[in-house]
């Protein structure tokens, strides 16, 4: 269908839809066709045997295309309209297609060609949402197009709605999505498993002063009465969690031949400065991974409540404003999201038990990009930082925690509960180990063929393992790999590679001086030496202090002055500094820490700080009260995980 036709159709459907809105939603009121039923092999939970976090059964009938015609309603905080799914039977005997939904109000489901209503059933409602079983039309077609007419709930877990006062401009509301891992189902009825990839098109309408952006190419923008309609097209098949949208008062600046940065106008120039290295990072990643297939690479800087550092939505990476350090020192997050253009977005984990295939590989490419742009010593410096963070994570979770395995068992486990640094850093170390066995050149050329072979596919760890073994079958070095321990062992990795220590050494010297300092004599590191440290080294220095025993308040005061920590803009440094203050039991800092927390949604910062505050009697109650006061402004995933961290949920 051409996009011109979309607009026409949308108007039609809109009218139909609006006239039906007053009808009570009677979800699941229809019964399924009664003819012969096939019994599917189902685990007792009713979830898919291929993906423990999805009800869908793409092995029986698979969605091959998605078209959305949706209106964003800020007053009611809902998105409503139609999502049309093209469905193909895989098993000719099946009569149904199974989809995932979560808190969607389904009004009706139609077959588009005939406009006949289809029967459907909603069942198994629980933490993974609900199973939506739709009876396919009783005729033999190659493709069935079913149209779901529905609206989202105001608490859709994949959306964050902001009132104007929570935006930089204060005039207009804002909404953004975050679908990874399994929140797409709260906005789009779909087969919400990364094992299914579809092209998608969308027509989205918003109040006329707002701009809509999506993880796709924008095709049109047209006024329609008091609203504006935007049409998008993503021509590369993507998994559901990569569908993304945001709407607000946005501007853009060009930052490269295929890149723009989008943000509210108050920060768009700062963002253009911060991310000016994007094209160089893209080119370097292409050099390592092969051609960039997504056409454009834009960035969207979200309001502060965005819960992640970055999200690799295709054509439009979403990033947190905490990256705006003013000196480009946190742009490695962009290198990370760029790397996902291959690892994750082209070669995709088939379900979230194999999440390390996305994130471990992405860390590996991210650091290689940094290594090429800044030198191997930077690559290794970051790798070592990652190793320290991994140690902290394993210590906190416990050596024996099954979630410290590289390959997880997520039966009955929500991916939001399993999320940690393990797949990132343990995955990274595993790949460094493999590379050390076969050599850098051989490993890099292996990576290229691995991407080439598995692009546009979703795979499991065993696919990678077989491919690697086969590729290096004549290399005896690989026979000593203890795959079982690496993939299924808990705790720290069995082998830690050697990393270049150049950038670390200076910090090591300084830390010794700081630790043996008595807090009364003059600060042990000269201001010239401090000024000579790059931001990454300052971050490292603070991380090393945090690892040490608590420091006295005198020493902390000295440190604050020497490093000007009261005025530091770099969010990573601020975060580590706050943790050091909590560890040193500096009570006067609690208030400032909480007020910073209330303006930041990035879970990498909020979760450890809330946990630290919880674990200190002096701040425990204040932290809980503060959370209760601000939780309604948090995105669902933040609210949920912090509530758990604070033991407010079981």
Which residue ranges make up the site for Zn ion (CB under 5 A)?
359, 362
Site residues for ligand BES, 342-401, by CB under 6 A, read 359
Rounded least distance, CB 259 to ligand BES, Å: 18
User: CB of 94 within 8 A of CB of 100?
Assistant: no
* Region binding ligand BES by CB under 6 A among candidate stretches 199-207, 307-315, 373-381, 462-470: 307-315
459 contacts ligand BES (rule: CB under 6 A): no
Rounded least distance, CB 180 to ligand BES, Å: 4
605 contacts ligand BES (rule: CB under 6 A): no
Alpha helix ranges (H) inside 21-123: none
Reduce the DSSP state of residue 92 to 3 states and report it.
coil
Among 158, 189, 248, 309, binds ligand BES (CB under 6 A): 309
Residue 334: in which H helix or E strand, if any? helix 332-339
333 contacts ligand BES (rule: CB under 6 A): yes
For CA atoms 134, 137, 139, 140, the dihedral sign is: negative
* Binding partner of 604, given ligand BES, Zn ion, none, CB within 5-8 angstroms per partner class: ligand BES
468 contacts ligand BES (rule: CB under 6 A): no
Reduce the DSSP state of residue 47 to 3 states and report it.
coil
Rounded least distance, CB 424 to Zn ion, Å: 7
- Report the C-alpha gap between 139 and 537 in whole angstroms: 66
Q: Name the residue whose CB lies closest to ligand BES.
A: 309
Beta bridge partners of 259: 256
Beta bridge partners of 83: 68, 148
Q: Nearer Cβ to ligand BES, position 292 or 483?
A: 292
Site residues for ligand BES, 575-604, by CB under 6 A, read 604
Among 81, 310, 314, 427, binds ligand BES (CB under 6 A): 310
Q: How many CB atoms lie within 10 A of CB 137?
A: 16
Query: What single DSSP character describes residue 319?
Result: E
- Report the C-alpha gap between 361 and 393 in whole angstroms: 19
Rounded least distance, CB 462 to ligand BES, Å: 22
Residue 178-197 contact track with ligand BES, rule CB under 6 A, x = bound: --xx----------------
To 10 degrees, the CA torsion angle through 244, 158, 221, 197? 40
- 516 burial via Cβ count (<10 Å: 0-12, 13-18, 19+): exposed
Q: How many CB atoms lie within 10 A of CB 1?
A: 12
Question: Known catalytic residue: 454?
Answer: no
Q: How many CB atoms lie within 10 A of CB 243?
A: 26
* Region binding ligand BES by CB under 6 A among candidate stretches 60-68, 308-316, 475-483, 640-648: 308-316
Among residues 297, 424, 454, 610, which one is catalytic? 424
Q: Nearer Cβ to ligand BES, position 10 or 311?
A: 311
Among residues 337, 379, 425, 639, which one is catalytic? 337
Smallest Cα–Cα separation from 608: which of 630, 629, 577? 577
Residue 175: in which H helix or E strand, if any? strand 174-177
* Region binding ligand BES by CB under 6 A among candidate stretches 229-237, 310-318, 373-381, 570-578: 310-318
Rounded least distance, CB 359 to ligand BES, Å: 6
User: CB of 218 within 8 A of CB of 231?
Assistant: yes
* Binding partner of 419, given Zn ion, ligand BES, none, CB within 5-8 angstroms per partner class: ligand BES
Residue 284 phi, psi dihedral angles, 5° rounding: -65, -40
Question: Known catalytic residue: 337?
Answer: yes
Contacts with ligand BES by CB under 6 A lie at: 180-181, 308-312, 333, 336-337, 340, 359, 419, 424, 604
Active site residues: 337, 424
């Amino acid at each position: 269908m051409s996009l011109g036709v979309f607009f026409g159709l949308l108007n039609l459907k809109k009218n139909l839809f609006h006239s039906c809105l007053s009808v009570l939603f009677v979800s699941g009121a229809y019964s399924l066709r009664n003819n012969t039923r096939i019994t599917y092999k189902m685990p007792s939970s009713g979830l898919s045997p291929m993906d423990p976090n999805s009800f869908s059964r793409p092995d029986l009938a698979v969605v091959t295309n998605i078209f959305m015609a949706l209106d964003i309603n800020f007053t009611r905080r809902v998105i409503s309209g139609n999502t049309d799914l093209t469905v193909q039977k895989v098993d000719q005997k099946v009569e149904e297609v199974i989809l995932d939904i979560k808190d969607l109000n389904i009004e009706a489901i139609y077959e588009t060609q005939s406009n006949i209503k289809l029967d459907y059933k909603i069942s198994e409602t629980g933490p993974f949402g609900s199973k939506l079983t739709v009876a396919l039309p009783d005729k033999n077609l190659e493709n069935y197009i079913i149209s779901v007419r529905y609206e989202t709930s105001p608490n859709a877990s994949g959306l964050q709605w902001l009132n104007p006062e929570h935006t930089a401009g204060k005039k207009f509301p804002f909404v953004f999505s975050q679908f990874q891992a399994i929140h797409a189902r709260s906005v789009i009825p779909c087969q919400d498993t990364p094992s299914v990839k579809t092209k998608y098109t969308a027509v989205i309408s918003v109040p006329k002063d707002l701009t809509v952006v999506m993880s796709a190419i924008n095709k049109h923008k047209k006024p329609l009465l008091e609203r504006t309609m935007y049409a998008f097209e993503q021509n590369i098949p993507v998994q559901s969690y990569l569908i993304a949208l945001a709407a607000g008062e946005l501007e853009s600046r060009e930052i490269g031949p295929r890149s723009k940065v989008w943000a509210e106008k108050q920060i768009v120039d700062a963002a253009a400065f911060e991310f000016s290295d994007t094209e160089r990072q893209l080119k370097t990643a292409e050099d390592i991974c092969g051609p960039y297939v997504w056409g454009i690479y834009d960035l969207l800087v979200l309001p502060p409540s965005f819960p992640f550092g970055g999200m690799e939505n295709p054509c439009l990476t979403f990033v947190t404003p905490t990256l705006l350090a003013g000196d480009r020192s946190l742009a490695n997050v962009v290198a990370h999201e760029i790397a996902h253009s291959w690892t994750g977005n082209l070669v995709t984990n088939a379900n979230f038990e194999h999440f390390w295939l996305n994130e471990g590989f992405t860390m590996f490419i991210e650091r290689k990009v940094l290594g090429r742009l800044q030198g191997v010593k930077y690559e290794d410096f970051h790798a070592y930082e990652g190793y320290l963070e991994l140690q902290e994570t394993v210590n906190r979770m416990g050596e024996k925690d099954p979630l410290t395995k590289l390959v997880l068992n997520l039966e009955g486990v929500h991916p939001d509960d399993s999320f940690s640094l393990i797949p990132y850093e343990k995955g990274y170390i595993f790949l460094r180990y493999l590379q050390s066995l076969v050599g850098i050149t051989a490993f890099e050329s292996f990576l290229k063929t691995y991407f080439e072979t598995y692009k546009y596919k979703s795979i499991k760890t065993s696919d990678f393992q077989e491919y690697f073994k086969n590729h290096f079958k004549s290399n005896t070095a690989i026979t000593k790999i203890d795959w079982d321990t690496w993939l299924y062992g808990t705790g720290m990795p069995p082998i830690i590679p050697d990393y270049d220590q150049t950038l670390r050494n200076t910090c090591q010297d300084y830390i010794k001086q700081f630790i043996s300092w008595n807090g009364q004599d003059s600060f042990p590191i000269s201001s010239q030496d401090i000024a000579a440290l790059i931001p990454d080294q300052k971050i490292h220095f603070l991380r090393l202090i945090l690892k040490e025993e608590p420091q006295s308040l005198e020493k902390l005061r000295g440190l604050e002055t020497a490093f000007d920590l009261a005025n530091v803009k770099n969010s990573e440094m601020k975060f580590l500094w706050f943790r050091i203050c909590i560890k040193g039991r500096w009570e006067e800092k609690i208030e400032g820490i909480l007020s910073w927390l209330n303006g930041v949604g990035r879970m990498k910062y909020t979760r450890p700080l809330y946990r630290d505050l919880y674990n200190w009697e002096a701040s425990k109650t204040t932290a809980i009260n503060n959370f209760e006061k601000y939780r309604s402004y948090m995105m669902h995933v933040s609210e949920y995980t912090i509530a758990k961290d604070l033991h407010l949920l079981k």
